[in-house]
Chains A and B, each alone.
Chain A
Amino acid sequence: MVAKLKTYWYYWIKSSELTLVSLVATRLSSILFITGKFARFFLYIIFLLVLKDKIQLVAGYSIDQLITFFLIFNLFDLLGQFLYRGIYWFRSEIISGNFDYRLLKPISPLFQIMTKHTDFLDLPLLVLVITFLVKRFPQVSPIELLHFGILSLASLIILTSLHIVIASIGVMTTEVDHTMWIFRDLSEMAKVPIDIYVEFIRTFLTYIVPIAVIFTFPAKSLYGLIPSPTIFIALAISLTVYFLSFKFWHFSLTKYSSASS
């Protein structure tokens, strides 16, 4: 088991190192991409600050709280992209049949495709978001910190699971990009607490595509707004989704047609 973990760790380090080298080689592009990410982040913050001057509450939340929700959204959104950017290149492997080579290697093909492009371009903003969060919450109670920790774990598990589901859909239908972008657009709905949406959308974002568990629950836990049982239910949901996503992945592999190979 330890030897296997070592192999995976070495594979991830090596592929990340190669990605970093390629990003450094195309410096201007990397700078432009980072600039775009920062621009998007700060423009939204500016918008919220402009609202703060005129508006007290949005769906029962202050604008300061909305900024926290936005920061937490960015935290997990950027983590997902940092770790699993490789999924964006998966379609080309499927339609070219190059995915065959992944299947032949003695390493999980899923691990290979998801981690093949660690996106270091998300790192500067990720560091900034974490710094902002630490500054905003200098004194969180230990119990709230524990709740946040557990919900962050659940969040990362669901994030991983949804990427697995998207990869599986890709294997079965050769469609990855749009599915991924729909997931990203649904995630954008959680820039603000999902409480602002109507019942139907809230239910959809909590139980069907658990965007709320990924982004809204951890933010709420920092304000003590998530009761303890809900935290463990969220963890249970995340483990169930993780288990089901693997089942779906293995099922999808039985449908792989190896087109163009």
Chain B
Amino acid sequence: MKKYWQITKTSWSNGFVYRLNFIMWRVRTIIWFFTIYYFWVAILSQNDQVFNYDSQTLLTYVIGTSFLRSLVLSSRSVSAGMEIANGDLNNYLVKPINYLKNWLARDIADKALNLAFFIPEMVIIFLVIKPPFIFPNNPWYFVAFIVAALIATLMYFFFSFLVSCFTFWYPEHNGWPLRFIVFMIIGFLAGDTFPLDIFPAVAQTIFKILPFGYFMFYPMQIYLGRIPANQVGLTIIIMLAWVFILYKISTAVFKKGLKVYGAYGR
């Protein structure tokens, strides 16, 4: 445990070494926020209610997903694909270290760093643009939201690691082509730009079956109290089941991948 804590600490320090990179990344997240936020403000300025969302609820959803993007979707495990493709994985295989735990430790540092910047950024944004924002009526919804957000973080970590594992079979471009498709669709399917319940019932059924909606949409539905209290527990159980499934698949695929691993580039 101690060695992984050390990896987290080193990874945190590493973030401060490449300050310009990190600051530019944060600038990008602020641009994303404004792009989505003002789009919905424009819609809501001419429509009091959109898809059963009033102005306050919808804009809180946008702010909430911005928080979840910093927590859930920020992941360094993207680079695992690169390490597999160029043979750097060898460095880990000869050490008494678990590759998955290593990436989890690095991810924790990255997420902490992102949140450390997200909070002051949001304070400034709140002071400047004064967005409407609602807090849950029931504090238990807030607690359930935090729990759901943490589970979503784990879910995305295993999913992202799984995507990286496909590099074992297709190392071209460091596994980037598959990752590119994931990047293109993940935001849409997770509900980062708009709530998924604006879509027709059939699409919503599909979203419910897929794991992606649980990255952002369902945690935000819990926060907003749009999931009945007696179903919050069930939603969290479904998310935990996804964590288990994704963990099992990603570790199994990693083990299988090691059998075909040729340490190219070494």
Contact = CB atoms under 8 A, between A and B. Distances in A.
Nearest to B27: A182
B33 to A, nearest CB: 11
A161 to B, nearest CB: 20
B38 A201 contact: yes
A189 B184 contact: no
B28 A40 contact: no
B39 A196 contact: yes
B216 to A, nearest CB: 15
A40 B39 contact: no
Contacts of A47: 188, 193-194
24 contacts: A28-B177, A32-B181, A33-B177, A36-B181, A37-B184, A39-B181, A47-B193, A47-B194, A50-B199, A51-B43, A51-B198, A54-B51, A54-B198, A55-B46, A55-B50, A58-B42, A58-B43, A178-B28, A182-B31, A185-B35, A186-B31, A188-B35, A189-B31, A189-B35
Contacts of A32: 177-178, 180-181
Interface string B193-222: 110001110000000000000000000000
B85 to A, nearest CB: 12
Contacts of A36: 177, 180-181, 183-185
Contacts, number: 96
A132 interface: no
B121 interface: no
B24 interface: yes
B125 to A, nearest CB: 12
Nearest to A185: B31
A94 B32 CA distance: 29
Contacts of B51: 54
A43 B184 CA distance: 9
Interface residues of B, number: 38
Given A181-B28, A182-B27, 17 more contacts: A29-B176, A32-B178, A35-B181, A36-B177, A36-B180, A51-B43, A54-B47, A58-B46, A175-B24, A181-B24, A182-B28, A182-B31, A185-B31, A185-B35, A188-B32, A189-B35, A191-B35
B45 interface: yes
Given A32-B177, A47-B193, A178-B21, A196 B42 contact: yes
B173 interface: yes
Q: Is the interface of B mostly helix, strand, loop or mixed?
A: helix
A197 interface: yes
A186 B34 CA distance: 10
B54 interface: no
B127 interface: no
A54 B38 contact: no
Nearest to A196: B42
Contacts of A140: none
A26 B176 CA distance: 13
B20 interface: yes
Q: Is the interface of A mostly helix, strand, loop or mixed?
A: helix
A28 B170 contact: yes
A188 B200 CA distance: 26
B32 A185 contact: yes
Contact of B24 (A26, A44, A182, A201): A182
Nearest to B31: A185
List 4 tightest A-B contacts by C-beta distance, closest first.
Answer: A178-B24, A32-B177, A196-B42, A36-B184
Interface of A: 26, 28-29, 32-33, 35-37, 39-40, 43-44, 47, 50-51, 54-59, 175, 178-179, 181-182, 185-186, 188-189, 191-192, 196-198, 201
Nearest to B49: A54
A26 B27 CA distance: 34
A188 to B, nearest CB: 6
Q: Which of B24, B41, B181 has the most CB of A within 10 A?
A: B181
Contacts of A29: 172-173, 176-177
Contacts of A44: 188
B5 interface: no
Nearest to A178: B24
A213 to B, nearest CB: 18
